[in-house]
Structure 1
Amino acid sequence: MILFLLPDHDYDPTESAVPWAALRDAGIPVRFATPEGRVALADDRLVERGFSVLSPLLMTRSDALRDYDRMREDPDFQSPLAYSDVVDAEVSGVLVPGGHAPGMKSMLESTTAQNIFGRALLSGKPVAAVCHGVLLAARAQDPATGRSVLYDRRTTAVTATLELSAWNLTRLRLGTYYRTYPQTVQAEVTAALRDPRQFERGPLIPRRDTATRRNRGFTVRDRNYLSARWPGDCHRLAAEYRDLVLADPAPH
């Protein structure tokens, strides 16, 4: 099975549901794990509450919301595992979506979740992370070296430009909503790498991809590890991760 790691709540619906739909439609089993094994819903501001006049720019797109509605109805989504109940031998790959609201910390700061991801990556299983989810990957340690499992990997994540732009657009009304941590994701992830040049920012002006225009998205693949920056990369991420999983000889 492919395991999606989710926080208690507040993850990005696009970054979870679009890859889930690609795997599910390819017949690949997907399970979910949350901190305590309770059903976890996405960031409600991205799904329903919105951002006033900025909603057309910042809210989840309608096609991704349809995938999210499908995902929520899936029996496996309704019965997630607890992180502590995950059995490595039953996991054939791991995907970590992002999100920036406070609930994300229940996943990003969990050493159990970090270790699940790290063991999967180090054992060669197909793994993926997007946006703030790359923080979990960067925080996962290789027990043989004490360094991040990304130390010798190329990666991307939500860039400082993307993160700070969203914060500056919303901070007067929403304060630190777009600042999960004082340090940017790009800064923390880059600090975990052997060489700062391993962090790839992609095009300076990002373009949202779609199911029919996946080439607009930006991803970075390094061996069995795939990463992306933001929801606008997720159709490409979903297709490439599906293909990575299908190419893996291990049973799913």
Structure 2
Amino acid sequence: MTDRPRRILVPLPDRDFDTTESSVVWDALDRAGHEVVFATEHGAVAECDRHLLGPGWRNPFPAEPAVVATYHRMTASPNFRRPIRYSEIDVSDFDAVHLPGGHSPGMKQYLGSGLLQAKVATFDAAGKPIGAVCHGVLVAARARNQETGKSLLAGRTVTTLIKPIERYAFRRTFYRVGRRYRTYRTYTEDEVRAAVGPAGRIEHGSSWQEPLVVVDGLIVTARYPVDVEAYAERFVRLVENVRSKPIS
């Protein structure tokens, strides 16, 4: 039992974020009695990658039906319908930040936002948990420590969308959807590996189908939707265990 409800920030792009990596974590936080506040670049109501909402020729890896139902509950929630802007993010208003992933083109608005990266860096400086899944780890990798100027992940042990999974998804789907499963020409793992540097490490896990969650201090990372339930449980536990000052 936590001493008080926590307030968690979940930034998103206007479109194309991953259905599972957002809604399953939202549901875990909501069931634990915490408040989730969403943010988009200009305050627009976000929309997930529509290709994940059901099966079809151009929907090679849809979310599970139960996850889609959870997504629709999330999108009907008042806070989802009234997101704040990236520019309005104030670390003193929040206890932690969760960074969902997604691979489709619309994700670049979120993954490449220098403003959002700077805001995420304030959570690190304030000693507040940062959680990230899949491509969401790129936001933390691109954010800079305010004292050293290095990546927030420098010297850390983390995971992300590992190269074998990204390569498999791309090759398996290219003839159906083109480059949708390669957000950038550089593999996600390669960019994150450069961010952690020689003193850090990227965990692959023993199996693609067995959940993997990596915790290094106040940074929690996971690879892709298979990991998300375990990630959500670990993220909630970390958020509740960190002693942070009440939000005024």
What TM-score do you get using the length of structure 2 for normalisation? 0.93
The alpha-carbon deviation at position 121 of structure 1 amounts to 2.1
The residue number in structure 1 matching 2:236 is: 242
Separation in 1 of the partners of 2:138 and 2:82? 26
The residue number in structure 2 matching 1:138 is: 141
* Number of residue pairs aligned between Structure 1 and Structure 2: 240
* Structure 2 residue corresponding to 1:12, chosen from 15, 18, 39: 18
Matched, 1:220 2:204: no
- For the 8 Å contact 2:9–2:37, the answer to whether it is kept is yes
Whichever structure has more helix as a proportion of its residues is 1
What TM-score do you get using the length of structure 1 for normalisation? 0.91
Q: Quick one: structure 1 residues 193 and 112, their matched pair in 2 at CA, closer, same or farther if it must change by over 3 Å? A: same
1:69-84 map, 5 Å: 69-84=72-87
Percent identity between the two aligned chains: 38
The residue number in structure 2 matching 1:167 is: 170
The alpha-carbon deviation at position 239 of structure 1 amounts to 0.5
Separation in 2 of the partners of 1:53 and 1:45? 7
5+ long unaligned stretches in structure 1: 208-215
The residue number in structure 2 matching 1:108 is: 111
* Structure 1 residue corresponding to 2:122, chosen from 113, 119, 122: 119
Write the deviation string for residues 73-100 of structure 1: whole angstroms up to 9, x where unpaired: 1000000000001112101100000000
| Residue type of the alignment partner of 2:31 | D
| Residue type of the alignment partner of 1:40 | A
Structure 1's consecutive aligned runs of 4 or more residues displaced over 4 angstroms after TM superposition are none
Greater mean deviation of Cα atoms: 193-202 or 91-100: 193-202
Separation in 2 of the partners of 1:54 and 1:73? 23
5+ long unaligned stretches in structure 2: 1-6
Separation in 1 of the partners of 2:41 and 2:28? 25
The alpha-carbon deviation at position 51 of structure 1 amounts to 4.2
The alpha-carbon deviation at position 143 of structure 1 amounts to 2.6
* Structure 2 residue corresponding to 1:206, chosen from 205, 208, 218: 208
Whichever structure has more strand as a proportion of its residues is 2
- For the 8 Å contact 1:190–1:196, the answer to whether it is kept is no
SS in 2 for 1:116: helix
| Residue type of the alignment partner of 2:232 | A
The residue number in structure 1 matching 2:63 is: 60
Separation in 1 of the partners of 2:73 and 2:131? 21
Write the deviation string for residues 116-175 of structure 1: whole angstroms up to 9, x where unpaired: 212112321111000000011100011322210110211100011111100101101211
